[in-house]
Copies of this chain bind each other. A is one copy, B any other.
Amino acid sequence: MKVYVWKQSGNSYKLRVLLALLGVDYEEVMVDFRAHAHKHADYLKINPRGQVPAIVDGDTVLWDSAACLVYIARKFGGEQWLPSTPAPMAEVMNWTALAGNEMQFGLQYARRGLMRGIYSAGTLEQMQANGRVALDVLEQRLAQNEWLALGHPTLADIACFPYAETAPQGGIGLDAYPGIAAWLKRCKALPNWPERWKV
């Protein structure tokens, strides 16, 4: 299984986390954003969106981070990370979807704006406002629960972790979110939780 990532990408980090927690062997392929490798024709054949991460595993080609997480969880993780029964599966997807909506277009793009000067989804203030929608929902949940979706860690926690942790890089401090801060620590204490790539 080839896993295409870039070291500054929080969406890539989600896959790194799940693969490490599950102890899965895989081939990591760095897609160098500085060289615009994510927009090269060869890579666009794998991921027509021109983003990371992506997975190629035999005939299976996946180019959305949530789909990649679903694949890894269902192939290697049994029922823990993404249960197959309707209500628990949908509970997990609630948060996994949030990670691709307000967390991506709010928290991640606010961070990208401040770090790289790219503002493609609104002004910094608009992206921060979208990001706070996500953080407020997370905080409300985590004020009374240890994990987002179920009574144990699931895909939901992994999907939401990277851009919650980096919210301050988008100009949103986490002081007002004690539930989130405690949950971030809880996640990082899971056995085999990996560091981000060194930049």
Contact = CB atoms under 8 A, between A and B. Distances in A.
A140 interface: yes
Interface in A64-101: 64-68, 70-71, 74-75, 84-87, 89-91, 93-94, 97-98, 100-101
A160 to B, nearest CB: 12
A69 to B, nearest CB: 9
A152 to B, nearest CB: 18
A69 B129 CA distance: 27
B91 A85 contact: no
A1 to B, nearest CB: 11
Contacts of A102: 49
A28 interface: no
A92 to B, nearest CB: 8
A137 interface: yes
A192 interface: no
Interface residues of A, number: 43
A88 to B, nearest CB: 9
A133 B100 contact: no
A8 interface: no
A126 B121 contact: yes
A60 B74 contact: no
25 contacts: A48-B136, A48-B137, A48-B140, A49-B102, A57-B87, A60-B90, A62-B90, A62-B91, A63-B94, A64-B97, A64-B101, A66-B93, A67-B91, A71-B86, A71-B90, A74-B84, A74-B86, A74-B90, A75-B86, A100-B101, A101-B101, A101-B104, A101-B105, A120-B126, A121-B126
